[in-house]
Copies of this chain bind each other. A is one copy, B any other.
Amino acid sequence: MRRALAILPALPCLAAAAPAPAPSPAKQAAVASVERQAPEMIRMADRIWGYAETALRETRSAALLADHAEAHGFRVERGVAGLPTAFVASYGSGRPVIAVVGEYDALPGLSQKAAPRQEPLEAGAAGHGCGHNLFGPASLAAAIAIQERIAAGELRGTVRFYGTPAEEDVGGKLYMIRAGLFDDVDVALAWHPADEISADTDGSQAVVDFLVEFRGKAAHAAVDPWDGRSALDGVELFAHAINLMREHVKPTARIHYVVKEGGEVPNVVPERASLWCWIRDSDHASVDALVERARAIAEGAALATGTTSSLRIQSGDYEMLVSFEGAKLLHENLSWLGPLEFTPEEQAFAREIQRATGVEPAGLRGAVEPLDLEPGPPEGGSTDVSDLSWKVPTLHLSVTTAAHDAPWHAWPVVAASGSSIGHKGMVHAAKALAATMVDLYQDPERRAAIAQEFERRKAGTELELYLPPGPPALPKP
């Protein structure tokens, strides 16, 4: 989901990897805990991969993780923020409050076996095309590693695991932020399955998710189509205008849509039709401007087709507010952990995927990428972690779980996420998170530096969540 610019480590303008500090006993114990938890993590990841539950339907996935947290002594509050599959698991008390988040929603239509060629498990079913089956278990394992240290009296404060559903859809974290669930958090951490290992500074795009609905006038399409006005005409014209607009937006913008309702039967002129659209760009102000243009397009398409239209914002994310101070800390711990080794079989698996998808068969990247303190505009892609990054300082990590450069949100990611490649990356991510969290508990100066940078970069901007009032519409069971 993200790509750092390839920069030669030798160039002195990049922050050189600082010599890793001598790890504290607590950090060593936390990493050892993750190692111990690995078999259980893999079991959970594989079950969530098999469930492949899409947004707001992640009932079994959420329960698996929440039960596991509870079994490890966490206080678990389930169904928070009006989301049946959201939960918060807490341990300890007092400051600092260090949070780690976990996602577990799958993507529709991406069912795929854990095999290096396209082969659905069940045609048309969902699949973990974004690797979220790995996300929750790793984050929770890191939280458990900290919980053990707090329980042992080695660390002080509170650790939290947030089960954050529907990242791919309505953005569960938005509802959880609005519900005040992050209000007392000092620092949050997140990771994401990726095709390389890095402390992320490249950010993510702002996005707005909206629905454009057209209403026309029904008529018998053969008897008196001249008495009808097709809502689908409105959708088609809207889509055409959006595609015309592509020439007249910055290259950083991304606009994509599906037709949600396209009419019932051909012999009735469609009275209703709708299109579901996402617009992204490097910052939320740019996205807002594009959404206003889309609003004019919706009005124009309605005027031109004799229909009426409405544009309703459903969700959205700000761009990531990168914590460079946090990234430095993450990078130190990644460097300390060293590269991730893959077996020849894993490399072959990755190369077969790469060949099948027409990218360079370079296999898997296990090295730690250099830290980039001068990133360009964020690559395409958004996440509700970035909203959190405007609420509390947020550290973001990528760990290799998939073949380099193979398409994301597609079968290759499902395949690798269900294989030992994904498992290995997941365990590594948990270690890096746990090690970094130990530092955050033990080093108030680093926490202060992170907090100060956060306030400076936020520059007074208050997060206005892209959320309609009320809870999200839940899918029918």
A contact set with B: CB distance below 8 Å:
1, 11-14, 107-110, 129, 168-169, 205, 207, 209, 218-230, 232-233, 235-241, 243-252, 254-260, 262-273, 275-278, 280, 293, 296-297, 299-306, 357, 376, 379-382, 407-411
A25 to chain B, nearest CB (A): 39
Q: When the two chains form their complex, are residues B407 and A219 in contact, meaning their CB atoms are under 8 A apart?
A: yes
Q: When the two chains form their complex, are residues A252 and B251 in contact, meaning their CB atoms are under 8 A apart?
A: yes
The complex is assembled from copies of this chain, and their number is 4
Chain B residues whose C-beta falls within 8 Å of the C-beta of A293 in the assembled complex = 306
Q: When the two chains form their complex, are residues A169 and B265 in contact, meaning their CB atoms are under 8 A apart?
A: yes
Chain B residues whose C-beta falls within 8 Å of the C-beta of A236 in the assembled complex = 236, 239-240, 244
Q: When the two chains form their complex, are residues A232 and B251 in contact, meaning their CB atoms are under 8 A apart?
A: no
Using A107-B268, A300-B300, A376-B376 as known contacts, list a sample of 14 further A-B pairs with CB atoms less than 8 Å apart, ordered by residue number in A: A12-B13, A219-B409, A220-B410, A222-B380, A224-B380, A224-B408, A228-B248, A229-B248, A237-B240, A244-B305, A251-B252, A296-B306, A300-B303, A304-B304
A260 CA / B259 CA spacing, docked (Å): 9
Chain B residues whose C-beta falls within 8 Å of the C-beta of A259 in the assembled complex = 232, 235, 259, 262-263, 273
A373 to chain B, nearest CB (A): 11
Residue of B nearest to A278 (CB): B266
26 contacts between A and B (CB under 8 A): A1-B220, A1-B223, A108-B264, A108-B265, A168-B265, A218-B411, A219-B407, A220-B381, A220-B410, A221-B278, A222-B254, A222-B280, A235-B259, A236-B244, A237-B240, A243-B244, A244-B305, A251-B252, A256-B269, A258-B266, A258-B270, A259-B273, A262-B262, A266-B278, A299-B300, A300-B301
A252 CA / B220 CA spacing, docked (Å): 15
Q: When the two chains form their complex, are residues B262 and A408 in contact, meaning their CB atoms are under 8 A apart?
A: no
